[in-house]
Chain A
Amino acid sequence: MQIYGQTIASRLMLGTARYPSPDILKRAIEASGAEIVTVSLRREAAGERAGRKFWDIVRETGVKVLPNTAGCHSVREAVTTAQMAREVFGTNWIKLEVIGDADTLQPDLFGLVEATRILSDDGFAVLAYTTEDLVAADRLVEAGCRVLMPWGSPIGSARGLNNVYGLRAMRARYPDLTLIVDAGLGVPSHAAQALELGYDGVLLSSAVALAGDPVAMASAFKLAVAAGRLAFEADPLLPRDMAEPSTPVLGQATLGGAALQ
């Protein structure tokens, strides 16, 4: 898939938070095959060195990083966080989150569009955490966003794709834009479904990090993403309301009905 001109072979992007240990995080990244992982920024006390330790672990894996603006509830917070992330991580990529609702962690689409415009004008490559709302999507594209990341369902909810119709409509609206389902995936079949719909990729975090065996789950998601993409490229059968015989009826012997009476 294409992320702002870069070809990324893996269609799975992985979060780095809430793993049982740094070692399991490293092994899960390797098992997932992810080439991009999400990272964040937080306050650090002098001499704490926690940021350095984490950053060293990520760099050892050799993957690209996608900084996020998680926890930002205003345009100003998100923009300042993005600017700080660009300096710390040395990338102009930003997973832009402007949270609008504390219960659902639903994005504030109005703030998101405004922050996207500011950051795009400042040279950022914005990957916008959004909903499946097509009007907001149009505004985001107008503001310079080239990678839309609609939610499957609320962050961490593990509910999968809540609005398949909406996601399908977004895919149809933007056949050439990179679209990634971000948030709410719980099990590999959810990821497979997103890829079957034609989504370019998925971004997931808790589904792997909080699984009983994160490394095995990372492998499972890798397989599901590959299966979903292959299925999409194979042009899946469309659902229908009534049955259609899978065995041909032409030439079937007449062995029942009136002839036997």
Chain B
Amino acid sequence: MKIMLNGAPTDIAAKTLADALAELGYDDGPFATALNREFVPAGERSATPLEDGDAVEVIAPMQGG
């Protein structure tokens, strides 16, 4: 299926958010995730199914003011 990963169209085979992250190579944190603009805690990723067209955001620490 095709999802939007950080704003870019991306093809994945995985059916859950946790599997998608592993498939895409997000294996080393720290990062946090959101699905369709809603926060998905790390503990809920494996129970969070993905559907075609879903918007997934993966964000990590960055410098801030």
Contact = CB atoms under 8 A, between A and B. Distances in A.
Interface of A: 15-19, 25, 38-52, 54-55, 58, 67-68, 70, 76-77, 80, 83-85, 87-89, 155-156, 205-206, 209
A60 to B, nearest CB: 13
A88 B30 contact: yes
A209 B6 CA distance: 29
Given A46-B26, A88-B30, A15 B37 contact: no
Contact of A50 (B25, B32, B38, B62): B62
Given A17-B65, A43-B6, A88-B29, 7 more contacts: A43-B7, A43-B57, A48-B60, A51-B61, A58-B61, A85-B32, A156-B65
Contacts of B6: 43-45
Contacts of A68: 64-65
A42 B33 CA distance: 11
A19 to B, nearest CB: 8
B47 interface: no
The 4 closest A-B pairs by CB, nearest first: A51-B60, A40-B64, A205-B65, A84-B32
A87 B34 CA distance: 12
Interface string B16-48: 000000001110111111100111011000000
Interface of chain A: mostly helix, strand, loop or mixed? mixed
Nearest to B60: A51
A106 to B, nearest CB: 16
A58 B64 CA distance: 12
A54 B58 CA distance: 16
Interface residues of B, number: 26
B1 interface: no
A84 B39 contact: yes
Given A15-B65, A46-B24, A206-B65, A41 B34 contact: no
Contacts of A156: 65
A39 B59 CA distance: 13
Contacts of A76: 37
Contacts of B26: 46
B38 A80 contact: yes
A46 B25 contact: yes
Contacts of B39: 80, 83-84, 87
B63 A17 contact: yes
A40 B64 CA distance: 5
A56 B3 CA distance: 31
8 contacts: A43-B6, A43-B59, A44-B58, A50-B62, A51-B62, A87-B41, A88-B31, A209-B65
Contacts of B38: 80
A76 B36 CA distance: 12
A156 B28 CA distance: 34
A89 B59 CA distance: 12
A16 B34 contact: no
Contact of B65 (A51, A52, A88, A155): A155
